[in-house]
Amino acid sequence: MNDAKALFRPLEQAPAYKRLCQAIEDEIMAGRLNPGDQLPTETALAEAFQLNRSTVREGIRLLEQSGLVERIAGRRLAVARPSTTDLGKRLGQAMVLHAVTFQELWQTIAALEPAAAAHAAEARRPADLEALEENLAASEAAADDPLRLSELDVAFHAIVAEATHNRALLLARAAVAQLFYPAFAVVVTRLDTASARLLTAHREIAKAIARQNAAEARQWMERHIADFRRGYCKAGLDPEASIATLMEMNKA
């Protein structure tokens, strides 16, 4: 009798609002609806799908939340591309709820950032270099302001990632970075030697990227990330603790 679960599938048809969402999602994924295209009005959709407007609206909410659809300025539904930051936020939430530890984040960042630096060195464009320079200048000016410096640190790594012009890499690291670097603000505040080391590393990484020296960029980034971990432990923080606790310290 126990194999009943294995034998039979759930066998339930999803509620109408979900099916509507799926139907429109399919159209988008199949390329029959493209980003920018306007969707029919709610009443029109209701008529087309033979559903009530309330039901249609529920379906639209699902699409809205998945970022596949947006309300353009005024108010007309249009197909959209899910934004990187939006997805990053959602991934970040998930990690907090899964009680991910600093250690886990660090391992992931340690895999991604050196690769990002190397590819940035290969694919960077003039605009990227300018952004890096600007960030470095601002960082040097903010050497005494841990909070501001921490913000600029997040920005620096984001610029490097963007310089790869690799959207997959960008998306993958966005989530982790969003949690990792802010968590690190606490360290910068506690260790006064951290700022100087951070600045040196950033400068060298930027230099290597400017010179298109991928190997060097990767190497400096590796050291930089290793430094992060050392600083974290030196600051008396537990790598095995959930980052959720860190985020709270940050607020205080």
Residue 66 binds which of DNA, a copy of itself, none (CB < 5-8 A, kind-dependent): a copy of itself
Per-residue tokens: 133: 């320079």
Instruction: Please identify which residue in 34, 71, 234, 241 interacts with DNA, judged by CB under 7 A.
Output: 71
Q: Using the rule CB under 7 A, is 68 a contact of DNA?
A: no
222: contact with a copy of itself by CB under 8 A: no
CB of 82 to a copy of itself, least distance (A): 4
Nearer to a copy of itself, 143 or 226 (CB): 226
Interface segment toward DNA; rule CB under 7 A; list 73-81, 111-119, 187-195, 230-238: 73-81
Least distance (Å) between residue 98 CB and a copy of itself? 5
Give yes or no for a contact between 235 and 186, defined as CB atoms under 8 angstroms apart: yes
* Residue 154 binds a copy of itself (CB under 8 A): no
Say how far apart CA 156 and CA 97 lie, in whole Å. 27
212 contacts a copy of itself (rule: CB under 8 A): no
DSSP per residue over 147-159, as a string? HHHHHHHHHHHHH
Chain positions 176 to 205 lying near a copy of itself, rule: CB under 8 A, are 176
**DSSP helix/strand/coil, 14:** coil
Residue 15 in contact with DNA, rule: CB under 7 A: yes
CA distances from residue 90 to 82, 100, 157, 223 in whole angstroms, order as listed: 11, 14, 20, 29
- Cα–Cα distance for residue pair 250/238, rounded to 1 Å: 15
Q: Is 75 helix (H, G, I), strand (E, B) or coil?
A: coil
Residue 251 to residue 246: CA distance in whole angstroms: 9
Q: Count other Cβ atoms within 10 Å, centred on residue 243.
A: 22
CA 227/CA 63 separation, integer angstroms: 42
Among 34, 54, 93, 107, binds DNA (CB under 7 A): 54
How far out from the chain centre does Cα 30 lie? 26
Binding status of residue 239 toward a copy of itself by CB under 8 A: no
Q: Segment near a copy of itself (CB under 8 A), from 37-45, 51-59, 129-137, 185-193?
A: 51-59
Residue selected from 78, 91, 154, 155 as contacting a copy of itself according to rule CB under 8 A: 91
Q: In whole angstroms, what is the distance from residue 202 CA to residue 157 CA?
A: 9
Query: Rule CB under 8 A: which residues touch a copy of itself?
Result: 17, 25, 28-29, 31, 35, 54, 57-59, 61-62, 64-68, 81-82, 84, 87, 90-91, 93-98, 100, 104-105, 107-108, 110-112, 114-116, 119, 164, 166-169, 171-173, 175-176, 244
